[in-house]
Amino acid sequence: MSGTVITVTSGKGGVGKTTTTANIAAALAADGAKVVCIDADIGLRNLDVVLGLENRIVYDIVHVVEGAAKLKQAMIRDKRLPHLFLIPAAQTRDKSAVAPSDMIRICDELRAEFDYIMLDSPAGIERGFRNALAPSNRVVIVTNPEVSAVRDADRIIGLVESEQKGPPSLIINRIKPEMVKRGDMLSIDDVLDVLAIDLIGVVPEDEQIVIGSNRGNPVALDEKSRSGQAFRNIARRIKGEQVPFMDLDKQDGFFSRLGKLIRPGG
Amino acid sequence: MAVSVTIKGIKEGLLVVVGDGEWEEASRTLLEKLREKADFFRGARLVLQLGGRAMGAADLGKLRDDLGDLQINLWTVLSESALTENAARALGLETALPKPQALPPELPPISPSEDGSVAILVNHTLRSGKSVRFPGHVIVVGDINAGAEVVAGGNVIVWGRVRGTVQAGSEGDAEAVVCALDLAPTQLRIANAIATSPKRRGKADPEMARIKDGQIVAERWKPNEKG
């Protein structure tokens, strides 16, 4: 078995990298894949909170890099999904505690055992981003339908391409269909027009995501949630399935009218 | 096959000259040599002379990271290969020493006024953060996204959309022009004049911007009219 390393990144902070990482990982694991998430945001760790595993941390990735713990010891098994693991970041150190070569070594070790290794990148384009990018097989860019977030995504795409890791795929997070209709928010087409990369998901703005993140319950595990459905669809697309995009105009959680392909084959 | 790798001290830092042969072998030899005297080399900045070797950003990036592990800073890559230079620039490395040195064979400087025929072709979209600077003309096949910049001594011709910052005639040539299929830059400069884009009404047309009476004007490009 040789797993795929997926780096989730964005450039800009606060667009939903960590939430996206947690939800895609949960959706993949709920579907039977063996998944490990690595929080590469050393010094500002969050992924443990979003997954609800904060109180189980004993060892973190810096312990592994420095040889104070074995990789297995730092892997925390999810409380709901037996195939989902987390390797947390250190909270009391900074990005320089880990080098790109360390990340490559750790991921090489994990590839043998897992189907997917999800790397949650920190914001920015510096060391932490390079750590998260170095071992990557596939890059997923998260952006919001806002000019500043799209600008930063564009910059990140350029960096990913110049490191010859491309082509990345795109998730547009926190879209509000009513605002797009009024012309007050960039549409999916506006974003794709600038970024010109493959779209693998559109996640609507949803209060449940905030509630789920605070409580450590990813919405992807909530069968009734629309945003959860969006994340489950992304997970299936990552596995190579063809899944039609949801109709975001529908207000209820009923998906009988799937369809409205935004992009053929997307 | 052994690859010759020589290390010597120069004013700017450590100069490493890599001979012909397998890159993997060369980088291994280099790292071995540096590791032997790791304490001595720690904190040094390194100038890498690669000759005509064509290298991608992946290999250069790996070497940069490996050197970083030894706390050696890969600072400048000197190369006669445009591919290698581009890769180095993409990684944010210098591609020339600050002052002209006897090391690389000096190319005659390119003067934009010579006959106006020197140009580079950028065959892809320039994303945010990318910068292209050239003393002659710049031709871009692709878009110039917001946050990217092009600075040319001569003209800038874009087969695509312009959203970023574009400067033509950067050495003061007021005859320089900027042409694009869709010209809506954040800022446009020609010689000493600066302009921003007016709000677009309707569909984009190919346009040419030039200086007229001291001001930049963009006009719809019409065929059969001399530009």
| CATH number of the domain enclosing A197 | 3.40.50.300
Residue B34 sits in a domain whose CATH number is 3.30.750.50
The answer to whether position B141 is within a domain reads yes
Measured in degrees and rounded to the nearest 5, phi and psi for residue B64 equal -55, -45
Same domain, B211 and B124: yes
Percent of chain B with pLDDT over 70: 89
Query: Which residues in chain A are contacts of B56 at CB distance < 8 A?
Result: 164
Cβ of A154 and B128 within 8 Å?
A: yes
Residue B172 has which token pair? 């003061």
Task: Determine the pLDDT at residue A76.
Answer: 97
Nearest to B129 among A99, A158, A164 (CB): A158
Tell me the C-alpha distance between B67 and B63, whole Å: 6
The answer to whether position B99 is within a domain reads no
Range of the domain at B27: 5-90
What is the number of domains present in chain A? Answer: 1
B69, B90, B111 — which closes off a domain?
Answer: B90
Nearest CA among B77, B180, B127 for reference residue A150: B127
- Of A138-142, B148-152, B218-222, the range with the lowest mean pLDDT is B218-222
Q: Give burial (CB, 10 Å; 0-12/13-18/19+) of B188.
A: buried
pLDDT tens sequence across B57-99 = 888 999 999 998 888 889 889 888 888 888 888 888 888 887 5
Cβ of A164 and B57 within 8 Å?
A: yes
Residue A188 has which token pair? 């999916």
Same domain, B40 and B131: no
Nearest to A101 among B65, B91, B146 (CB): B65
Three-state DSSP at A30 gives helix
The answer to whether position B112 is within a domain reads no
The answer to whether position B109 is within a domain reads no
The answer to whether position B103 is within a domain reads no
pLDDT tier at A266 (50, 70, 90 boundaries)? very low
Nearest to B128 among A99, A151, A163 (CB): A151
The answer to whether position A249 is within a domain reads no
Task: Determine the pLDDT at residue B57.
Answer: 87
As a whole number, the mean pLDDT across chain B is 86
Nearest CA among B139, B85, B197, B65 for reference residue A104: B65
Query: Which residues in chain B are contacts of A158 at CB distance < 8 A?
Result: 126-130
Task: Determine the pLDDT at residue B178.
Answer: 97
CB pairs under 8 A between A and B: 49
Task: Determine the pLDDT at residue A185.
Answer: 95
Range of the domain at A10: 4-238
Same domain, B133 and B210: yes
B127 has pLDDT over 90 = yes
Cβ of A194 and B56 within 8 Å?
A: no
The answer to whether position B126 is within a domain reads yes
The answer to whether position B192 is within a domain reads yes
pLDDT tens sequence across B158-212 = 999 999 999 999 999 999 999 999 999 999 999 999 998 888 777 888 999 999 9
Residue A68 has which token pair? 């104070």
User: What does the pLDDT average to over A77-98?
Assistant: 94
A118 has pLDDT over 80 = yes
Query: Which residues in chain B are contacts of A130 at CB distance < 8 A?
Result: 65
Three-state DSSP at A17 gives helix
Same domain, B79 and B155: no
Find out whether B159 and B143 touch, Cβ atoms under 8 Å: no
Task: Determine the pLDDT at residue B109.
Answer: 59
pLDDT tens sequence across A34-71 = 999 999 999 999 999 999 999 999 999 999 999 999 99
What is the number of domains present in chain B? Answer: 2
The answer to whether position A244 is within a domain reads no
Nearest CA among A90, A194, A263, A133 for reference residue B160: A194
B48, B73, B90 — which closes off a domain?
Answer: B90
Same domain, B207 and B126: yes
Cβ of B91 and A101 within 8 Å?
A: no
**Separation in Å, CA of A113 to nearest CA in chain B:** 25
pLDDT tens sequence across A203-227 = 999 999 999 999 999 999 999 999 9
Tell me the C-alpha distance between A20 and A69, whole Å: 28
